[in-house]
Chains A and B, each alone.
Chain A
Amino acid sequence: MKENVIYSINGPVVTVKDTDAFSMLEMVYVGEDKLIGEVIAINKAATTIQVYETTTGLKPGEPVYPTGQPISVTLGPGILRNIFDGIERPLEEIAKQSGAFIPTGSAVDPLDKEKLWDVTVCVKVGDELVGGDIYATVPETELITHKCMVSPYIKGKVVEVKENGQYRIDDTVVILEDEDGNKINCTLIQKWPIKQPRPVTKRLPISMPLVTGQRVIDTLFPIAKGGTAAIPGGFGTGKTMTQHQLAKWCDADIIVYVGCGERGNEMTQVLEEFRELIDPKSNKPLTDRTVLIANTSNMPVAAREASIYTGVTLAEYYRDMGYHVAIMADSTSRWAEALREISGRLEEMPAEEGFPAYLPSRLSQFYERAGYMDNLNGTKGSVTIIGAVSPQGADFSEPVTQNTKRFVRTFWALDKALAYARHYFAINWTLSYSEYIPDLERWFNKNVDPKFLRYRQTLSSLLAEETKLNEIVKLMGTDVLPDDQKLTIEIAKVIRVGYLQQNAFHKDDTYVPLNKQLKMMEVIVYLYKRAQDVVSSGKPIRLILETGIFDKVIKMKYDVPNDNIDLLDDYFQMIDEAVASLD
């Protein structure tokens, strides 16, 4: 057989001439060091390969080995609590082998092959299994039971099962026999190509919110389990902080956090913080439900492109077990830039701002992998995608933001002016939106209170009103406004500072349960109503402001602890007293 050798090298792109040994998107090993690469273009003259590691030192004439498989991830117990690079290489293992810096060509198994897992087999000889069926369970962490599933597109009859007990991931625990009599060994792991969505029975309608404990999100712009959201914002507006808060507090079962082309120190911070943080519902460390994928900005650019797919494939795998999974991708702009960089090296015709013309289709393919699904094995699970977008020059009209906007249904626009005033989350309430509210109406009415969405509407109308009034205030000052409009400005300030703004470093304010959110809104709306009475009775608004009740309500988020929400009831009385004191 003719050997396939490197012909040309340009950054992460290498070509092999005159060969038909490769297929599209196949994974290959490049050079003596066996760098991992992927076939991205084939024509009669040459095959083009992008290499997932730095190509320094590579020479033309070095061999390229086909593997016959697309770039895949290994799925099995041991994924949780782990930190991987963009192509599922465990960074802890690499550090053990090679020290603090990541060398090229590290051949490390994605999952620990030596570790013994407690396996409970849940099928018996004679059972007919199809793709997706669960044949064994493994307690992966104290929080999550891992379910080993038959790989999709495979079916057969169980001919042999092993005893329950301790097994390594490569050990066979169940043997199937398909229609043609072929034996299929089922171990604890399976492989899946990262660019191919895992199949499901059908998509289910969105019906549950992803509760995050962050007031501006849960109340004004909620996201659904199985939904998609984008967080665009210039640098310093708090994209990463928002993602961290969501990863810590949202009520998904599993979190996949993808640091895609971002800062190394941030990933270290996530690692350290999540180890220390305790999940409030289960009292276990947050790492027990988290997997991190870190491809920092100085790691090879092609692996950055892969990291997003790797993340979403892991998420889909856990969804298939019946879990609600949330994936945070920080940031999708870096991923788009990786596409641009590679496209430039291939000398493709650029579209807008140098991005390739296929940017929108790639973005939609990614976001469409979210959803609330009826899985092959009858369980129900969801993948929620929350992607940060880093628009160039904080200009939301740039291609990545605009194209993302077409495919997501929740849009949390971060605002520089709010961030400058240290108003976090700096989510701008006029630019942001959530299309999920009609879908979630039933859930809120049933599980929280029908008042929740009513109050939400009151708050958002007041904020809209304030935005309008601010146009006047900007030109003429507040003094010219009549008292009822002054009241709108004042109550909007209470909403902004006392409700929307949330302190991630305050022990109670960092996570606020929905019933406290409801109560807080109730207090604010009550304050508004009583103050309206005062104003309509002809008393100047100055009087009620001077009682200090507005400031008191602003600080209720700090003064009322989460474990004693009933204290909020006292505020109604305080408001009444303040109003009464004016007579």
Chain B
Amino acid sequence: MSLQYLGLNEINGPLVVLDHVKDASYDEMVEIMCQDGSKRLGRIVQIEGERVVVQVFEGTNTLSLSNTKTRLLGHPMELPVSREILGRVFSGAGKPIDGLGDIYATKSMDINGQPLNPVSRVYPRNYINTGISSIDCLTTLIRGQKLPIFSGSGLPHNQLAVQIVKQAKVADDEGKGFGVVFAAMGVTNDVADYFKRSFEEAGVMERVVMFLNLSNDPIIERILTPRCALTAAEYLAYEQDMHVLVIYTDVTSYCEALREFSSSKGEIPGRKGYPGYLYSDLASLYERAGMIKDANGSVTQIPILTMPNNDITHPVPDLTGYITEGQITLDPELNSMGIYPPVSVLPSLSRLMKDGIGEGFTRADHSSVSNQLFAAYAHVQDVRSLTSVIGEDELSDIDKKYMQFGRLFEEHFLNQGFETNRSIEETLDLGWLLLSVLPKSELDRIDNAVLDVYYNHDKALQIFNIIEDSIVELEQAIHNG
């Protein structure tokens, strides 16, 4: 029986202070017994001699300086794991909340994990076919990558995540199938339900582990939620050889919880009140994606974050972008035009795609198509801003063609709908067809040899039912006499 400490010295937000504690270790778990017999968990976050600061996960409501008993557990926060966790629902702190009882654990793992040695990593090269053109062609998702979705309030990021889970061909012969770890951090009940229902409809529920910290749950638990989820994912990937897709939403709520916690500890704030270590903290989550040499599994992360006020320079998306390997950005304007998925092409990027596409992975012409689409669509944006000043009629002929290309690109390429699943060939062919709308001389990112194979101007005009401008001009000339 270990020592119990009666009462507390100080209570401040989620933190309590104990005095005269012997033999406490940093990051150790403590258990606080309340008067009514319920137990709460906490973690030691600071030690000064015999004075110990404890962060209480379930909040400090109803605690007083005299009505508690505290016990040190002697180990850091651990998550019991076994293959049984598949199909189960846990609280943000890793306790089963689906009423099916505790799991029979084969081992316990420290939720903080340990840094992965760069020499033991395998550089990710296997692409994941999501069946979504804008992702497959332009921001290809690679197994072992961390590719966040930068979204905003009111945008269909949840649908997009579900569509990826539904359509993604993650499993292959080497691993023992695939799993999904879903962590909700500060989202509403509706959102959590939506994911659960969607997983059930897609028939993957028995391969899903859910960790739920809803918006009315204590914030301290929110800090643990992604760590529990990633620990479960690492267990499944590296010890059970599964390909695990980790989806967690919403990172912004997580960071706000961290800010609240940091300010109650009295730390010096960095930008916008977020703690100075926000980068390191986020990195300790995101960097847990990857593949390692002696295991067949992989951890792929799709964190979802809502950008406050759609501002990509806000600290949360900004720091995230510096750690993750690219991002998929959603655009409210495209969304209001009814385009789904409303992927904002230009600020979206996948850093790992260059090594996971092309011959042997997708198709030899993949990088040419995607580069040229990016360049052409970037030019469309320039032309559009010009149009807003001088009007479309005043544009040069070539810029008018770009306007047309832009419209077709959004209408056909981006806008594919929730149910459509396109193969990589379909996606790339569609890309070529759209590029063929432009004159050949405009396609300056592509080798002539490749152009000769795929470029087909007449077919594009025919399919998209375009009448060449020269003919229009001719008609106008006749019309004007």
Tell me which of A70-78, A470-478, A561-569 binds B.
Answer: A470-478
Contact bitstring A564-576, B, C-beta under 8 A = 1, else 0: 0000000000000
Q: How far is the CB of A536 from chain B (nearest CB, A)?
A: 23
User: Is B65 part of the binding interface, using a Cβ–Cβ cutoff of 8 Å?
Assistant: no
Which residues from 189 to 239 on chain B have a C-beta closer than 8 Å to any C-beta of chain A?
Answer: 238
User: Is A382 part of the binding interface, using a Cβ–Cβ cutoff of 8 Å?
Assistant: no
A505 and B354 contacting across the interface, CB-CB below 8 Å: yes
Contact bitstring A6-30, B, C-beta under 8 A = 1, else 0: 0111110000010000000000000
User: Is B379 part of the binding interface, using a Cβ–Cβ cutoff of 8 Å?
Assistant: yes
Contacts of B287 in A (CB 8 A): 263-264, 296-298
Tell me which of B240-248, B385-393, B452-460, B464-472 binds A.
Answer: B385-393
12 A-B pairs (CB sep. < 8 Å): A95-B117, A100-B120, A101-B115, A236-B327, A236-B347, A265-B124, A271-B119, A296-B115, A297-B323, A392-B319, A548-B441, A554-B444
Contacts of A338 in B (CB 8 A): 280
Given known A101-B117, A263-B325, contact A474–B24 (CB-CB < 8 A): no
Contacts of A334 in B (CB 8 A): 279
Tell me which of A51-59, A131-139, A163-171, A192-200 binds B.
Answer: A51-59
Chain A, Cβ-Cβ closest to B47 = A9
B355 and A475 contacting across the interface, CB-CB below 8 Å: no
B119 and A92 contacting across the interface, CB-CB below 8 Å: yes
User: Is B417 part of the binding interface, using a Cβ–Cβ cutoff of 8 Å?
Assistant: no
Q: How far is the CB of B346 from chain A (nearest CB, A)?
A: 4
Contacts of B24 in A (CB 8 A): 59-60
B117 and A94 contacting across the interface, CB-CB below 8 Å: yes
Q: Of B115, B117, B269, B441, which contacts A551 at CB under 8 A?
A: B441
Q: How far is the CB of B258 from chain A (nearest CB, A)?
A: 14
Given known A263-B287, A337-B279, contact A294–B118 (CB-CB < 8 A): yes
Chain A: how many interface residues by the 8 Å CB criterion?
78
B118 and A83 contacting across the interface, CB-CB below 8 Å: yes
- List residues of chain B with CB under 8 Å of any chain A CB: 23-28, 46-50, 76, 110, 112-124, 144-145, 238, 267-271, 275-277, 279-280, 283-284, 286-288, 290, 292-295, 312-315, 318-319, 321-323, 325-327, 346-347, 349, 351-352, 354-355, 367, 371, 374-375, 378-379, 385-386, 389-390, 394-396, 399, 441, 444-445, 447-448
Q: How far is the CB of B409 from chain A (nearest CB, A)?
A: 15
Contacts of A526 in B (CB 8 A): none
List 5 tightest A-B contacts by C-beta distance, closest first: A393-B313, A297-B283, A421-B378, A235-B321, A298-B287
B386 and A477 contacting across the interface, CB-CB below 8 Å: yes
User: Is A379 part of the binding interface, using a Cβ–Cβ cutoff of 8 Å?
Assistant: no
Chain A, Cβ-Cβ closest to B280 = A301
- List residues of chain A with CB under 8 Å of any chain B CB: 7-11, 17, 54-61, 83, 91-92, 94-95, 99-103, 234-236, 259, 261, 263-265, 267-269, 271-272, 294, 296-301, 334, 337-338, 340-341, 344, 347, 350, 353-354, 390, 392-395, 417, 420-423, 473-479, 497, 505, 548, 551, 554-555, 558
CA distance A478 to B24 in the complex (A): 73
Contacts of A8 in B (CB 8 A): 46-49
A422 and B367 contacting across the interface, CB-CB below 8 Å: no
B26 and A59 contacting across the interface, CB-CB below 8 Å: yes
Chain A, Cβ-Cβ closest to B53 = A10
B114 and A301 contacting across the interface, CB-CB below 8 Å: no
Chain A, Cβ-Cβ closest to B347 = A420
